[in-house]
Amino acid sequence: MTERKFESRALAVPSSRLSRLAKLGGLGATLAGSVAAGGARQLARGAKPNMSELLMTPANARKVADKLAQMRGAAMKVGQLMSMDAGDMLPPELADILARLRAEAHHMPGPQLKKVLTAAWGPDWLNRFQKFEVRPIAAASIGQVHRAQTRDGRDLAIKVQYPGVRRSIDSDVDNVAGLMRLAGMVPKEIDIAPMIAEAKRQLHEEADYEREGKYLDLFGQLLADRPEFRVPELHADLTTREVLAMSFLEGQPIEVLEAAPQDERDRVMRLIIELIFSELFTFQLMQTDPNFANFRYDRATGRIILLDFGATRAFDTAFAERYRALLRAGLAGDHTGIRRAAREIGFLSDGMPAALEEAMLGMFLMSLEPLRHAGDFDFGANDLALRMRDAGMAMSEQRAHMRIPPMDTLFLQRKFGGVYLLATKMRARVNLRALIEPHL
């Protein structure tokens, strides 16, 4: 774990289901009141009220972001994912407000923190430490991180889970999904039940810090011969389901590279993209959370620090082979092979109108442009992201016929999309074809 400048204020986490439901219920009532007032104003002007526009105003988006940041837990996590997946589809002022959820969280006040640690380690836990910093160095949706030194000389980062997170996951996800439906951010025609079930499953896994510790240790072993990467070392004697202890690693947010020389930005993004391909095709094990905060950078050594393995997902050999077939066909321009592989993976479904199928295939070919490009692809000097956004919005007109792909595919695409956004932010130049061909 790395240290960074972190500003937040102490605010107790509502830990009972009733208190969390009350907060979301209060938010729903506030939004409903805002819509009613706005609708009345539009009617008074002789205009027909637009529900989506009335709900997704900057003021309402700020209310949603503030409330989810106060609640933390699964409610905030779903809001973060919503901001990442829908950010490019929203007006910039709304996207900026929701993006705060990816960077900001309040932290537990001291008494609440002490109660959580006493439950995990016993009443005499402080005797095990020479120093324990009460103010966290980072806070996120499910937990916050503290720096500590043990009496036997270990320099640690301690991730402490917010109280009540695990038992409130199912109700939080259901309630936030209801708010998203209300706000019109999820088309009525799309069945999101599989996504809701998967979100609950994944969040239950992320809330199990013993499970995350095992993957932290496994990735450390998998990358032991890759000195370009560093993974914190697990300290199992201090790890429980609610507390994860790992070595503290000095570093900075990956975004500091935006001002770095071109060759340094290119090298780092080449390593990150190469790692993604290795996770899919070699390890068949991927950390699927696309949050930029999961990458840190040690400027002194040029090493990339990898964090947060709660969202680690295993892929079976058949899944990896289907993607190999899809990429082989894409690189070869084999449209028949692309269609067959895309259907096997779940991008295309039975009963999909021919026009929509052709549009999705066209969008997939568009996404392959960086891989098919000869030599270095310049992420900072192309309009691919805009063209894909336009293509996606055009397809949304046929959303009644669209289906959510299998969950493995969805999480993999989210990770690919996150890395693509990071490469664009870095204005990196990377020869992707040279990186992917050894895996095909």
Long-range contacts of 140-145 (CB under 8 A, 24+ apart): 140/105, 140/293, 141/72, 141/73, 141/74, 141/76, 141/77, 141/80, 141/101, 141/105, 142/72, 142/73, 142/74, 142/77, 142/203, 142/206, 142/207, 142/310, 143/209, 143/244, 144/105, 144/107, 144/108, 145/1
189 in Cβ contact with 399 (< 8 Å): yes
| Higher-pLDDT residue of 70, 424 | 424
Output the average pLDDT for the chain: 77
Q: Which segment of 124-128, 355-359, 427-431 scores lowest on mean pLDDT?
A: 355-359
196 in Cβ contact with 186 (< 8 Å): no
Helices and strands: H and E segment counts in the chain: 17, 13
What does the pLDDT read at residue 36?
41
Q: Which of 375, 391, 374, 386 is nearest to 420 (CA)?
A: 386
Count of beta carbons in the 10 Å neighbourhood of residue 96 = 15
Catalytic residue among 289, 334, 390, 408: 289
Q: Where are the domains of the chain?
A: 252-440
What letter represents residue 293's amino acid? A
**pLDDT above 70: residue 400:** no
Ranked by mean pLDDT, the top range of 77-91, 99-113, 242-256, 382-396 is 242-256
Q: Tens of pLDDT along 157-196?
A: 999 998 888 887 887 777 777 666 655 555 565 666 776 7
**pLDDT above 70: residue 19:** no
| Higher-pLDDT residue of 357, 390 | 357
In angstroms, the Cα distances linking 59 to 94, 279, 286, 413 are 9, 41, 37, 31
| Terminal CA-CA length for the chain | 34
Q: Decide: helix, strand or coil at residue 296.
A: strand
**Which DSSP state fits 238?**
G
Q: Tens of pLDDT along 335-357?
A: 888 888 888 887 777 777 777 77
Beta strand pairing call for 303-306 and 229-230: parallel
Give yes or no: 390 in active site: no
**pLDDT above 50: residue 93:** no
C-alpha to C-alpha distance for 269 and 304, rounded to whole angstroms: 10
370 in Cβ contact with 384 (< 8 Å): yes
What's the whole-number mean pLDDT along residues 213-227?
96
**Percentage of residues in the chain with pLDDT exceeding 90?**
36
What does the pLDDT read at residue 8?
55
| Residue 6 pLDDT class (50, 70, 90 cuts) | very low
What's the whole-number mean pLDDT along residues 246-254?
94
| Residue 365 pLDDT class (50, 70, 90 cuts) | confident
| Residue 41 pLDDT class (50, 70, 90 cuts) | very low
C-alpha to C-alpha distance for 352 and 334, rounded to whole angstroms: 21
Q: Which of 146, 128, 129 is nearest to 137 (CA)?
A: 146
This model's pTM is above 0.75: yes
C-alpha to C-alpha distance for 58 and 64, rounded to whole angstroms: 10
| Burial class of residue 174 in the structure, from the number of CB atoms within 10 Å of its CB (0-12 exposed, 13-18 middle, 19+ buried) | middle
